[in-house]
Chains A and B, each alone.
Chain A
Amino acid sequence: MKPTDISAPDYFHKVVDCQWACPAHTPVPEYIRLIAAGRYSDAYMINWESNVFPGILGRTCDRPCEPACRRGRVEAEPVAICRLKRVAADFKDDIRARLPKPAARKNGKRIALVGGGPASLAVARDLAPMGYECIVFDQDPQVGGMMRTQIPKFRLPESVLDEECQYILDLGIAFVGGKRIDSMKALLKENFDACFVGCGAPRGRDLDIPGRKEAAKNIHIGIDWLSSVSFGHIDKIGKRVVVLGGGNTAMDCCRSSRRLGGEDVTVVVRSGFEEMKASPWEKEDAMHEDIPIFNFLVPKEFTHDNGRLTGVLFEKVKAEYDAKGRRKLVPTGEPDRHFPCDDVLVAVGQENAFPWIERDCGIAFDKWDMPKVDPKTMASTHPKVFFGGDAAFGPKNIIWAVAHGHDAAISIDRLCRGEDIAVRPPPQINVASQKMGIHEWSYDNEIAPDKRYRVPHRDKVLSLRDIKSEVELGYDIELALKEAERCLNCDVQTVFTGQLCIECDACVDICPMDCITFTQNGDEAELRTRLQAPAQNVTQDLYVANDLKTGRVMVKDEDVCLHCGLCAERCPTGAWDMQKYLIDMTLAEQACQLKA
């Protein structure tokens, strides 16, 4: 193998699994260390800069970082990264003085943002301090988009949402609420310097089966129903409720129903329980609230008594896989099952809908009627129109919307400066040895053996009584510290210098995970088989270094390294060093002046 080029920005970035997996590339270990140090405001600001909505995401994020977390490969469960983010938001001081100020002088460029959700707000957050005049349009009277309309208050309190939206509005952004944009052509005529479309995927999929029309009065589309609940237009539901669908919207629907009078609430999904789209913890929370989930049942008919809904009839199916591994649901032949109910909530997916974008305005659409969007620049085929969030590639989640927002802001800024939007700014990298003394490091290198700590929940009876009462109470400071200590500090990298090595094997002997091997070089596949411990996880890189006197190479399997620094502690010559690699994604230039 060729010696590893550790100066390539991606190499050590990939070792920080959580940060690499995060669409916004938030420097996770850095803020977790700050939480452990009690510096909640600093931890919050790192998050705010990177993912814009720390308090919101700390409660609602889909957590792509957690399955990636190295702790999950070393021990049973990953670090509770998401809920630690919430800790930063919960315990911070008033940070308003640390936020960027509205631009003192406007640069004369006007940007229209369609939709007041996370994607548009992220774009506006990045651009407004630079002098851009950002105008956000939304059909709803309040800002927040799906974060407000679709996420129930018992998961995301209004105060948290209002606070973090306000930080952005305070940058001097104009929010035009209650205004629906009906024509892209008309919008383009208003001579904005750029338009950003962040209107989400607003159309809930319907279920066209017998009885749908007749019993329509008690059959509701999930996201519309959640939205009405959110704005207080709906405050009760029947005693018996069936929720159709297996995504997070379905979980929000069933749990909201339990709080609005639903006593016998049931979730029914077509697929198997395991394949459900909902996050595992959301399913757990639903079941904890006495909501059973039935699987492998395909809805066949809404039964009704002269237009009054009586229940839903399901066909029992099983999964069969063809030679290509594709799943097909085939009837088992068992008798159909009838679930009697008073109300049905349909949460079987949501779709994009752009009836307001005229197809001849210069924005090309693909065969699925989705706009053609460049995933790097978020640009459409119209030079001035950009997309982001669910509007760009269909339903994802908030953290993706934020990442899209950052990318679109860079593009819009470059467009307005007359630069090529395809050229992207490289990440900012800061490398520093963590050595403080012979056995002293500037980070806590002792590995805590603790298992993942559970986040305390409010008593079930109390939380079911009020739809606005938050279920999760969040970690207290003591629990937060313990959970933070579980982080392995993967951003403190093991850096090896071959010229200094005397090949004494001290690092090999001390390494608790058998990560390090000195051996003859070979090609990667073969090398992986003859290391100190087998390196079977090919998604994790081998770090290869040469310049050794014996002509051998040092091979380190990054997979399960604890970053405990024992290799560096036991190295007599300083050939190993622990160096912190802080990788910050560059946002639209001067987006925030926090980096100094």
Chain B
Amino acid sequence: MTYVVKPKFHHPELPKNKLGYTHRDYEGAVSTLCAGCGHDSITASIIEACFELSIEPHRVAKISGIGCSSKTPTYFLGNSHGFNSVHGRMPSVLTGANLANRDLIYLGVSGDGDSASIGFGQFAHCLRRGVNMVYIVENNGVYGLTKGQFSATADRGSKSKRGVVNSDSAIDMVGIALQIGASFVARSFSGDKKQLTPLIKAAIEHQGAAFIDVISPCVAFNNHAGSTKSFDYVREHNEAVNFLDFMTGRPPIHVDYAPGTVERVEQHDGTVLTLRKLDAEYDVHDRLAAMSFLHHHADLGQIVTGLLYVERDAEDLHGHLNTVEAPLNALSEKDLCPGAAVLDKINASLR
């Protein structure tokens, strides 16, 4: 925990986005997480993504549950809407908010405890329904707030800080998301913002349920030898399938990966994702192949990262339900109660 207020001064040459904001304008309060927490890097990536997309902060709703990860919305987008919900219930609250006002950008922030244990059902159903959102799981494999017990995403055979070996098998949230119908599935690593930030941007632009599993080392309880979610382990076993160039407004400055073949992926709304393919064989539109690739590499002890799957013609919950274009919360009483004549007509159609 840091007590001094982060100074308001910023670099005089800091770039500004289309709205005239610097990335500093997208910050929230100073983090109260442990120094070095991977979650803070994800926070920085979200800030960068929103800055680069020139998103107006008041158009974002950030919703979370309980846990270290769920504290993080306080640390970014200080001028956005926020809801810190009950443990594991972020998806329901987010779904409700989204149904009421489809015009906002929904950022669901959760952790492995929140989404893979107490909220596992919520996680599944929310993706299954195709709620238009970005669902970020800040995945560190431990219960940090209760001093480092294994969570449901901890790999079998990995060791706790005290040397206990995990005997339970792990839930692979990316595998579940692919199986259950998420239309945008990605995995990244908090220690690699060059990969993570473009993925968050693409997920925000994606119209449908976008899920990103971000491995985020817990420096206090899960960053030791024997952990499979430590900085060193993830760096060594990272199998990136592609690198996303999602540059709007800002020229690409630097690419960390060797260039491979480039694929342009057109989104439903017309935006284009440029994929630098690191694995030439990998097809981001093939859900089945993606699942098999994932499991195959998991068996080899590798952590597959990158944009793993994106549906060509994704549709969201509002599409499924055929709701009106206007947000429901903006409809007037006249729209909602069209009168006895219309009711009669509806009743007649049901006879």
- Cross-chain contact A445 with B6 (CB below 8 angstroms): no
B290 at the A/B interface (Cβ < 8 Å)? no
The smallest C-beta distance from A440 to any residue of chain B, in angstroms, reads: 9
Q: Closest residue of chain A to B8, judged by CB?
A: A449
**A564 and B11 contact, Cβ closer than 8 Å, known pairs A504-B231, A509-B44, A549-B235:** no
- Cross-chain contact A569 with B12 (CB below 8 angstroms): no
Contacts of A549 in B (CB 8 A): 232, 235
Contacts of A445 in B (CB 8 A): 4
Q: Which of A446, A505, A510, A529 has the most CB of B within 10 A?
A: A505
B14 at the A/B interface (Cβ < 8 Å)? yes
- Cross-chain contact A533 with B13 (CB below 8 angstroms): yes
A92 at the A/B interface (Cβ < 8 Å)? no
Q: Which of B11, B37, B40 has the most CB of A within 10 A?
A: B11
Q: Closest residue of chain B to A529, judged by CB?
A: B253
Give complex CA distance A204, B23 in Å.
Answer: 57
Give complex CA distance A509, B2 in Å.
Answer: 13
**A504 and B38 contact, Cβ closer than 8 Å, known pairs A530-B253, A549-B232:** yes
**A505 and B3 contact, Cβ closer than 8 Å, known pairs A512-B10, A513-B11, A560-B12:** no
0/1 per residue, B230-262, Cβ < 8 Å to A? Answer: 011001000000000000000001101000000
Give residues 360-374 of A contacting B (CB, 8 Å): none
B348 at the A/B interface (Cβ < 8 Å)? no
Give complex CA distance A533, B13 in Å.
Answer: 7
Contacts of A534 in B (CB 8 A): 13
| A74 CB contact (under 8 Å) in B2, B9, B43 | B9
Give complex CA distance A74, B30 in Å.
Answer: 21
A562 at the A/B interface (Cβ < 8 Å)? yes
Q: Closest residue of chain A to B220, judged by CB?
A: A572
Give residues 420-461 of A contacting B (CB, 8 Å): 439, 445-447, 449
Give residues 508-535 of A contacting B (CB, 8 Å): 508-510, 512-515, 519-520, 529-530, 533-534
- Cross-chain contact A439 with B232 (CB below 8 angstroms): no
- Cross-chain contact A550 with B235 (CB below 8 angstroms): yes
- Cross-chain contact A439 with B8 (CB below 8 angstroms): no
The smallest C-beta distance from B208 to any residue of chain A, in angstroms, reads: 29
Give complex CA distance A73, B1 in Å.
Answer: 29
A193 at the A/B interface (Cβ < 8 Å)? no
| B217 CB contact (under 8 Å) in A504, A508, A513, A519 | A504
| A536 CB contact (under 8 Å) in B7, B13, B253 | B13
Q: Which of B2, B3, B4, B30 has the most CB of A within 10 A?
A: B4
| B9 CB contact (under 8 Å) in A529, A562, A572 | A562
Q: Give the dominant DSSP class at A's interface.
A: loop
Q: Closest residue of chain A to B30, judged by CB?
A: A510
| B6 CB contact (under 8 Å) in A75, A519, A520, A566 | A566
A503 at the A/B interface (Cβ < 8 Å)? yes
Give complex CA distance A571, B8 in Å.
Answer: 20
- Cross-chain contact B36 with A570 (CB below 8 angstroms): yes
Give complex CA distance A502, B9 in Å.
Answer: 27
Give complex CA distance A445, B4 in Å.
Answer: 8
Interface size band for B: 35 or more
Give residues 363-411 of A contacting B (CB, 8 Å): none
- Cross-chain contact A566 with B14 (CB below 8 angstroms): no
The smallest C-beta distance from B8 to any residue of chain A, in angstroms, reads: 6
Give complex CA distance A508, B47 in Å.
Answer: 13
Give complex CA distance A446, B34 in Å.
Answer: 20
- Cross-chain contact A505 with B193 (CB below 8 angstroms): yes
- Cross-chain contact A571 with B36 (CB below 8 angstroms): yes
Give complex CA distance A424, B12 in Å.
Answer: 40
Give residues 126-156 of B contacting A (CB, 8 Å): none
Give complex CA distance A502, B10 in Å.
Answer: 26
0/1 per residue, B192-235, Cβ < 8 Å to A? Answer: 01000000000000000000000001010001000000011001
A332 at the A/B interface (Cβ < 8 Å)? no
Give complex CA distance A75, B146 in Å.
Answer: 44
A506 at the A/B interface (Cβ < 8 Å)? yes
Give complex CA distance A536, B12 in Å.
Answer: 11
Q: Which of A509, A519, A529, A564 has the most CB of B within 10 A?
A: A509
- Cross-chain contact B35 with A569 (CB below 8 angstroms): yes
- Cross-chain contact B41 with A509 (CB below 8 angstroms): yes
Q: Which of B6, B7, B44, B217 has the most CB of A within 10 A?
A: B7
B337 at the A/B interface (Cβ < 8 Å)? no
Contact surface of B with A, Cβ cutoff 8 Å: 1-14, 24, 30-31, 34-38, 40-41, 43-44, 190-191, 193, 217, 219, 223, 231-232, 235, 253-254, 256
7 contacts between A and B (CB under 8 A): A504-B38, A505-B193, A509-B41, A510-B31, A513-B11, A519-B254, A571-B35
Further pairs besides A439-B1, A505-B40: 4, Cβ < 8 Å: A510-B40, A515-B11, A530-B253, A533-B14
